[in-house]
Chain A
Amino acid sequence: MSFWNASRRVFDLSLGEMLWSRRTIFMALVVGGPVLLAVIVKVVELFGMSALRVNRQPVAGFGIFGVMIWMLFLRFIVPVLGVFYGTALMADEVEDKTITYVFTRPIPRGAVLVGKYLAYLACTMLVVLPSVMIVYFLLVPFSALPETFGSLVIDLGLLGLGLAVYGAVFAFVGAFFKRPLVIGLLFAFGWEQVVMALPGYLKQFTIAYYLQALVPHAMPADGVASMLQGMFRENPPVAVCLAWLFAYLGVFLYLATRVVERKEYVLEQ
């Protein structure tokens, strides 16, 4: 069976498994939060009040949507889903001691990882992107739709790219390291957050640096960390950001495939 045919078969099998696993409940809660918040904002606005005020000025629906994209989706949901799903692509099979059955099939080992990675992408995108769409239509009035729709499309593309890049990085982490979840959480919520708040070139070794430079909304200042990140924020050109993000995606996915093909997984008895 060719590599891509094998990947497709693994994708078919893995998508159902991922969608109806216990992790999906976690994902539904994480992604349902912004939708619930948007509903509350809408109800508050229906009563003629402003849900969010900055310096006593009401923030328009699209402004609230921008804050949600930054604070909920880009800084939390995308990395957290990348960590939980990405690291589990191979680690789950090792932990459940089912990897032997997968590897004994007459398919390339790398195709298993690629198929599972594509299933992860489909699964997370099919949950995250419709949730963003619902939040957008709840918060942004129809009169503002023509002028803000371009930003929504950029947001959707950015979130999709973020899920893909974080997924690839954590797929490698899951395939290579023994305690991938801890390493993944340390990378996403330790390394990236700290380095982004520091001056210097180290932030170039994060995904957030390139991803956040592409966001079409103003960066909210919601705390000391955000303030520092805002102070040391740089905006590399779009082409540079996209090139680095796709490079991360390609390199880490390739490395993850190589690791899966070469590594001898020793199952603990």
Chain B
Amino acid sequence: MSNRTRYFVAVTGAILVVGLGTGIVASYMGFPVSVFSSAAGPEELEYVPADAAVVAYANVRDVMNSQLRKRFQEMEPSQEHKNDFEEKTGLNFEQDIDTVVAAMMPKGNIATNPEGAFLILARGRFQAARLEALALEHGATIADYQGKRLITHHDTDSIGPSKHEDMAVGFVEADLIAFGSVTAVKASIDARRENRNVVSNVEMMRLVSELDNANAWAVGRFDAIAGQTGLPTEIASQMPAITRFSAAGHINGGVSGVLKAETKDEASAQNMRDVLKGLLALAKMQAGSKPGMQQLADSLILSGDGKNVALSFSVPSEVLDVLEGLAKGRKGM
């Protein structure tokens, strides 16, 4: 065997060995996503605990600046109410909030203790001192947790031991606050500090990485929600066998998006596709005579194979015209 043949065998063999080695290490020991590539999704995900069952995101700035929002601006609460809130908190939702991430952790029962399961992370511009002063006025306490300021509000209204958890706001970064139960906010700070956050949750990050050009989305484990919401067994047993879901939308002049579901087996997915096909046919038949609705019905596209079902949609401006007309009609405008 000549030297160049040996070199060739060595180089190609090395590619195989390195590739297989990397794969084996990643499969059995896990890889922090940030080692070789940036993680999908916003940076706030680093504050979401790894066991989150649902994660949702909204780019508030995009939505606020969208043409859609401008169309419906007239129907929003009066300026007086807004100014009152802004005076007290120094917070103007339209200008000061950039993004919001919400997460649901499957701890306890959501039906009986909803506030204990949720965590909200808002990025924007906050006047910490003003918020702290306001909180103190209303009987809250302020403490430090892992070097972060934590405003805690105790439930003093209930008589005897409270069924509800204390709520807290944590200033986790200069422009990021975490809101939720004390446990949830502390878990959020720990998730970032110990690097055990949803970014290392391969399943969730796979769902996040599949989202494309969406300024609002939600992904999660459907079974975790169904099992925690306290639904009656009769209803729960009739729910389709969805294991994971994702919903992503892009809001600007109109609204377009896609809903995806992953079922426990291929037969369930096929059943779901069949049911949806029937519903789509019915919707198209019903929308036949209404031009705006016809476009909406035509934009509904069902796809997916194996255990996946996807339904994409697009709400055109004609439909929004109809909705706007209806809303104005109700207000007598």
Residues on A lying within 8 angstroms of B by beta carbon are: 12, 15-16, 19-20, 48, 50, 54-58, 60, 122, 126-127, 129-130, 133-134, 136-137, 141-147, 149-150, 152-153, 218
Interface residues of B in 143-171 (CB under 8 A from A): none
User: Are A127 and B202 in contact, CB atoms less than 8 angstroms apart?
Assistant: no
Main SS class of interface, A? helix
Task: Report B-chain residues with C-beta under 8 Å of the C-beta of A143.
Answer: 33, 37, 39-40, 202, 205-206, 209
A16 and B23 CA atoms in complex are apart in Å by 30
B139 at interface by CB-CB < 8 Å: no
Of all chain A residues, which has the CB nearest B23? A149
Contact partner, B27, options A15, A57, A134, A150, Cβ 8 Å: A150
The minimal Cβ–Cβ distance linking B291 to chain A, given in whole angstroms, is 22
User: Are B209 and A144 in contact, CB atoms less than 8 angstroms apart?
Assistant: yes
The minimal Cβ–Cβ distance linking B25 to chain A, given in whole angstroms, is 9
User: Are B26 and A149 in contact, CB atoms less than 8 angstroms apart?
Assistant: yes
Please classify how large the interface on chain B is, using the bins under 10, 10 to 19, 20 to 34, 35 or more: 35 or more
User: Are B305 and A130 in contact, CB atoms less than 8 angstroms apart?
Assistant: no
Contact partner, A218, options B22, B206, B306, Cβ 8 Å: B306
Residues on B lying within 8 angstroms of A by beta carbon are: 1-2, 4-5, 8-9, 12-13, 15-16, 19-20, 22-24, 26-27, 30-31, 33, 35-37, 39-40, 202-203, 205-206, 209-210, 212-213, 258, 301, 303, 305-306, 310, 312
Of all chain A residues, which has the CB nearest B211? A58
Of all chain A residues, which has the CB nearest B303? A55
Known: A133-B15, A218-B306. 13 other contacts (CB 8 A): A20-B4, A48-B213, A57-B312, A58-B212, A60-B209, A126-B12, A137-B22, A142-B26, A143-B39, A145-B26, A146-B27, A146-B31, A218-B305
A151 and B46 CA atoms in complex are apart in Å by 29
A144 and B31 CA atoms in complex are apart in Å by 10
Task: Report B-chain residues with C-beta under 8 Å of the C-beta of A19.
Answer: 5, 8
The minimal Cβ–Cβ distance linking A143 to chain B, given in whole angstroms, is 5
A31 and B330 CA atoms in complex are apart in Å by 65
The minimal Cβ–Cβ distance linking A121 to chain B, given in whole angstroms, is 13
Task: Report B-chain residues with C-beta under 8 Å of the C-beta of A58.
Answer: 210, 212
